[in-house]
Amino acid sequence: RRLKLDFTERSKIATSPLASKLLKLMDQKGTTLCLAADLTSANEILELSELAGPHIAVLKIHVDIIEDFDLSFIQKLKQLSSKHKFYLMEDRKFGDIGNTASLQYEKGIYKIAEWADFITAHPVPGPSILDGLKYALRNVSDDRGIFLVTQMSSNGALTTETYVKASVTLSQDSNLVVGHVCQSNIFSDPGLIQLTPGVKLTQTSDNLGQQYNTPEVVVNAGADLVVVGRGITESPDKLSSILNYKNQLWAAYKNRISS
Ligand code: 6AU
């Protein structure tokens, strides 16, 4: 049923306020693209965000790979996110005990809880990781959402069927969880969002275990929000790649809900 409903309908079912907003935004902007700006220079990320902003739903970064990070970068990114109406995701993949995850989310030099609309977290520690991440938000009034990294895209990933099932169960008890990072249609709740990485038109793998599929294949496998990184960042003509992925993904979504 999830795969047949449009995002606006699903936004009414979502229990997380931020999941609901993201679903609405995807329909309003006509895009399911989550750009993985895996670049190590703050200015390069800002330039790419300015270019891609009107065409993406989410900008995903790995803040700890930026060589010239400071909090002014975050301020500028926030300005771009409100100017072009996209959400920010820090793909931190938290994976420790609740207390440590809480400190990593709130403290240190990145202060992720202050600015990231969405984060990713591994379910491997069990329910306490969600308690820890929630605790770090005790002074934050903005909406926040967590994607559980339930099934990985890499070759030989240890996210086996039992693990996947347990993660889906874990997500049912928390309204902070907005969806799953996964490769296939593993949950039925239409209020949750499937975030799928491993998408590239010109390659089926990289040299370090990443595995790629096409936009059409992942959308038919349940992907709602779709991560594209090097397919865009390494393209000689970035804007045309952004538009190409955006359009192919949107056509596949429209086709999925109508067929
Ligand atoms: O398109 P790429 O291969 O250049 O980038 C894929 C992006 C990277 C990964 O850290 C991330 O997606 N990713 C994730 C996420 C989103 O959590 C999970 C996973 O299983 N595979 C994966 O590639 O930023």
pLDDT, one tens digit per residue, over 63-97 is: 999 999 999 999 999 999 999 999 999 999 999 99
Burial of residue 22 (number of CB atoms within 10 Å: 0-12, 13-18, 19+): buried
Q: Is the CB of 146 under 6 A from ligand 1?
A: no
Handedness of CA 239, 118, 38, 211 (dihedral sign): negative
Beta bridge partners of 88: 59
In this prediction, residue 209 carries a pLDDT of: 97
> Over 90: is that where the pLDDT of 58 sits?
yes
Q: Does the structure show a pLDDT above 90 at 172?
A: yes
Q: What domain count does the chain have?
A: 1
* CATH code of 41's domain: 3.20.20.70
When the pLDDT of each residue in the chain is averaged and rounded to a whole number, the result is: 98
Q: Which atom of ligand 1 is nearest to the CA of 231?
A: 1
ipTM > 0.90, yes or no: yes
Ligand 1 contact, 197 CB (< 6 A): yes
Q: Which of 21, 24, 76, 93 is catalytic?
A: 93
Could you tell me if the CB of 35 is within 6 A of ligand 1?
Answer: no
pLDDT digits (tens, 9 = 90+) for 176-193: 999 999 999 999 999 999
Domain range enclosing 163: 1-258
User: For this structure, is 93 an active site residue?
Assistant: yes
Whether residue 127 is predicted with pLDDT greater than 90 in this model: the reply is: yes
Contacts of 247 (CB under 8 A, 6+ apart): none
Model confidence at 28: pLDDT above 90: yes
